[in-house]
A and B are shown apart, each in its own frame.
Chain A
């Protein structure tokens, strides 16, 4: 049987702020606008995780959804209801833009997936009008 992909959606909430300490205030405001306001702001992020793999001939599944749910929820537990700039080590050196958050989640979720399945796409919605997709390195 061939390969198939499967997408599951998750939700979490977090704060972020777009700001570079090595830039003057005006430069931060010019580039990042409202996103640079001092105390950050939050989103309800919607995360779509797409996993691909061969369909198991016994179970008929690419992977057990319970396993996927466990892997992703363990990763998101670290991010949920946090201020990404202030509380997360991943964003000490990088701004927690939606782009950077998507690639970080790719790395963390990808390494936890059970054998035989791999990530095909991460789609991270910041709000209903903006999302970022990552398909892995070039």
Chain B
């Protein structure tokens, strides 16, 4: 039987729990409070983050798969989950030494940690779910 060809997009969800604090040292205390509200409280607060990673590839005629899921799991675990899980992002993770760990910045950092590292597929989109109501997506610079 003939069947459709072309790219297939696969998305997989991962989880980590971490603390962050939204605070820009170059702004005054008042400005931080005004802009970031409760998120600027001194000791930070935590979320159960979800990361949905979307990759695209041709379906291999032999295996029927567009992506080696173990390789994807391994790359995400080593470069993202193990790096961020149960950490204070501002204090424990070098990515945020000079960067406020907002959802926007976290999703772009995760893109940078994953891009080019998953063999055989192209990274298409990273979605960071911070709470039930807030999520952030990044699809690289070209889009």
Contact = CB atoms under 8 A, between A and B. Distances in A.
A95 B63 CA distance: 7
A18 B69 CA distance: 13
Given A134-B4, A136-B4, A100 B13 contact: no
A101 to B, nearest CB: 9
A107 interface: yes
B59 A103 contact: yes
B59 A99 contact: yes
Interface string B12-52: 11100000000000000000000000000000000000000
A100 B58 CA distance: 11
Nearest to B7: A138
Interface size class of B (residues with CB under 8 A): 20 to 34
Given A99-B66, A103-B59, A129 B13 contact: yes
A128 B12 CA distance: 9
A103 B5 CA distance: 8
A107 B5 CA distance: 10
A2 interface: no
A128 B13 contact: yes
A130 to B, nearest CB: 5
Contact of B8 (A31, A33, A89, A99): A99
Interface residues of A, number: 31
Interface in A54-83: none
Contacts of A99: 8, 10, 59, 64-66
A99 B5 CA distance: 11
Contacts of B132: none
A76 B78 CA distance: 39
Nearest to A132: B10
B59 A138 contact: no
Nearest to B12: A130
Interface of B: 1, 3-14, 54, 59, 62-66, 70
17 contacts: A94-B3, A94-B64, A95-B65, A97-B63, A98-B10, A99-B8, A99-B64, A103-B3, A106-B4, A129-B14, A130-B10, A130-B11, A135-B7, A137-B4, A137-B5, A137-B6, A138-B6
Interface of A: 18, 20, 31-33, 89-90, 93-100, 102-104, 106-107, 128-138
9 tightest A-B CB contacts, nearest first: A95-B64, A97-B64, A138-B6, A137-B6, A133-B9, A129-B13, A100-B64, A103-B4, A99-B59
